[in-house]
Amino acid sequence: MRKLLLSPLPLIALLGACTVGPNYAGPPKVATTDAPGGHFVRGGKVATAQAPQVANWWTSLGDTTLNELETRALAGSPNLAVAQARVKQARASFKLERANQLPKASASASYIHAQIPGVDFTGSGNEIDSLDLVNLGFDASWEIDLFGGQRRTVEAARATLESAEANVADAQVQLSAEVAQSYVNLRDRQARLALIRQTGALQRQTLDLTRQRLSRGTASQLDVERLQSQVETTEAQAVPIAAEIESYMNALAVLTGEAPGALDTMLQARGAVPLPPASVAIGDPSELLQRRPDIRAAERKLASQTAKIGQAEAARFPRLSFMGLIGIGGSKISDLTDPGNLSAIIAPQLSWSFLDFGRNAARVRQAEGVRDEAEAQYRQTVLAALQDAEDSLSRFGHRRESLASLVRIKASADRASVLMQQRYRAGTATLIDALDAERQRVVAEQNLAQTSAALTNDYVALQKALGLGWSAEPAAR
């Protein structure tokens, strides 16, 4: 008899090892580059194939204020907190699905007092119309995962958790780049405002001298009006620049989790625009695919959707579950200690929805379609990431060439201003000529400052395109 009772167990164990649905074999291959050796096409001379530093890339700009802002943002940004909260939800869902693989058990205790007139509960003929019942019970249920449907559910939940963790890293990448770009734009606007005011002061000096010449009859009213218009135009340019400065201060405060205006004291003093290093480590495209968090999130989403096909497949097959109940009780408290009052029930149940008129088959096809969509989205994410990296490398390289030209123009304007000052002191040039040369020097300096800020912003965009600026989150176990 014992042999007959134990004989189904090996069969159940064998069936429990069966897992239907496709096994995830990794992401599809996507062509990374056509360049020889697998390097970036637009790498140029400013980039090296050395693997970049993933975390804290902004320290390469050498600005302590920026470092402080990045630290505050990563600690207090609400957007980052949203992504972290989603990881918490996904982790709880993963633990829930893993626990659903195990039996469910519960205990109960009950006491019943019944009193119905005219009813003899004992059957002895005596008029006893009340009854007391006490009971302690324990019940358990367990559905055998014959075809791996629950295992696929756990597999999908694990991949979803890992995708949520990758989204946290992607939020860190986006946040660090946004903080750096806002900071660079703030310093750029502060430098522009100072140069505009310097240009306006020079123009006013020229205007005053022209008015003096007008009083002597050596200049016309037209010259005065033209210079007056230039002064007012220059001073008008300072108004929107001042508004942009306040806007970037507000943006940096919000990015760090503070109210607008909270960082004004820290940022109102003018600072130089930080410049990128001479060479930039970018690695190769294959490393980019492993490093960018949005690619990892898309790949984990594909793995999750692949597992859900098996989950839908398992619903097409029979389901075996067991329910057990053990109870002890009677009409008196002492009956709870009498082994003779112990009762036990075990009830195996086999169910199979074999006549569903194609419902489960449709669910499988639906899951396959969702998987195909996730695969296409993964391919698109990879290609978009490669394009982003190549475009950023191209802009950064060409901007450096433009900056080199503006450096030469600025040096020429400096020399011209010095020579004109020497001629003015020697009496061979007028003061207006000297002021005009100085104004051209300021304009060259302004163009150089704007391009320098644009170069740093291109550097920030390149770090973002390379998927840098995140720190590792604990992986699902």
Query: Of 283 and 171, which is predicted with more confidence?
Result: 171
For 51-68, what is each residue's pLDDT tens digit?
A: 888 889 999 999 999 999
Give the count of alpha carbons within 13 A of 171, CB side only.
23
Q: How far apart are CA 412 and CA 405, in angstroms?
A: 11
Per-residue confidence (pLDDT) for residue 71, from 0 to 100: 95
Per-residue confidence (pLDDT) for residue 476, from 0 to 100: 40
Q: Can you give the CATH number for the domain in which 285 is found?
A: 1.20.1600.10
- Kindly state whether residue 123 falls inside one of the protein's structural domains: no
Per-residue confidence (pLDDT) for residue 136, from 0 to 100: 81
Query: Of 219 and 161, which is predicted with more confidence?
Result: 161
Binned at pLDDT 50, 70 and 90, residue 475 comes out as very low
Query: Of 188 and 334, which is predicted with more confidence?
Result: 188
Binned at pLDDT 50, 70 and 90, residue 142 comes out as confident
The number of distinct structural domains making up the chain is 1
Does the pLDDT value for residue 327 go beyond 70?
yes
- Kindly state whether residue 415 falls inside one of the protein's structural domains: yes
Per-residue confidence (pLDDT) for residue 5, from 0 to 100: 41
Binned at pLDDT 50, 70 and 90, residue 119 comes out as low
Per-residue confidence (pLDDT) for residue 3, from 0 to 100: 41
- Kindly state whether residue 122 falls inside one of the protein's structural domains: no
Using a 10 angstrom Cβ sphere, with 0-12 exposed, 13-18 middle and 19 or more buried, the burial of residue 263 is buried
Residues of the domain holding 262: 15-114+129-465
Does the pLDDT value for residue 129 go beyond 70?
no
Closest CA to 164 of 291, 300, 28: 300
- Kindly state whether residue 474 falls inside one of the protein's structural domains: no
Pick from 19-28, 84-93, 334-343, 392-401: least confident: 334-343
Overall average pLDDT of the 99-120 stretch: 78
Give the count of alpha carbons within 13 A of 332, CB side only.
4
Per-residue confidence (pLDDT) for residue 190, from 0 to 100: 94
Q: Strand 47-48 vs strand 280-281: parallel, antiparallel, or unpaired?
A: parallel
- Kindly state whether residue 240 falls inside one of the protein's structural domains: yes
Residue listed under structure tokens 């480590």 = 281
Question: How much is the mean pLDDT over the chain?
Answer: 85
Per-residue confidence (pLDDT) for residue 459, from 0 to 100: 94
For 270-284, what is each residue's pLDDT tens digit?
A: 899 999 998 888 888
Does the pLDDT value for residue 401 go beyond 50?
yes
Per-residue confidence (pLDDT) for residue 37, from 0 to 100: 53
Using a 10 angstrom Cβ sphere, with 0-12 exposed, 13-18 middle and 19 or more buried, the burial of residue 261 is exposed
Closest CA to 185 of 460, 457, 461: 457
- Kindly state whether residue 3 falls inside one of the protein's structural domains: no
Binned at pLDDT 50, 70 and 90, residue 124 comes out as low
Closest CA to 473 of 283, 254, 296: 296
- Kindly state whether residue 477 falls inside one of the protein's structural domains: no
Overall average pLDDT of the 367-381 stretch: 94
Closest CA to 53 of 471, 461, 392: 471
Overall average pLDDT of the 206-232 stretch: 84
Overall average pLDDT of the 450-464 stretch: 94
Overall average pLDDT of the 113-118 stretch: 69
Does the pLDDT value for residue 368 go beyond 70?
yes
Q: How far apart are CA 251 and CA 286, in angstroms?
A: 35
Does the pLDDT value for residue 4 go beyond 80?
no
This prediction has a pTM of: 0.82
Per-residue confidence (pLDDT) for residue 127, from 0 to 100: 57
Q: What angle do CA 471, 475, 477 make, to 5 degrees?
A: 165
For 197-211, what is each residue's pLDDT tens digit?
A: 888 888 888 888 888
Pick from 31-35, 134-138, 396-400: least confident: 31-35
Overall average pLDDT of the 237-265 stretch: 94
- Kindly state whether residue 2 falls inside one of the protein's structural domains: no
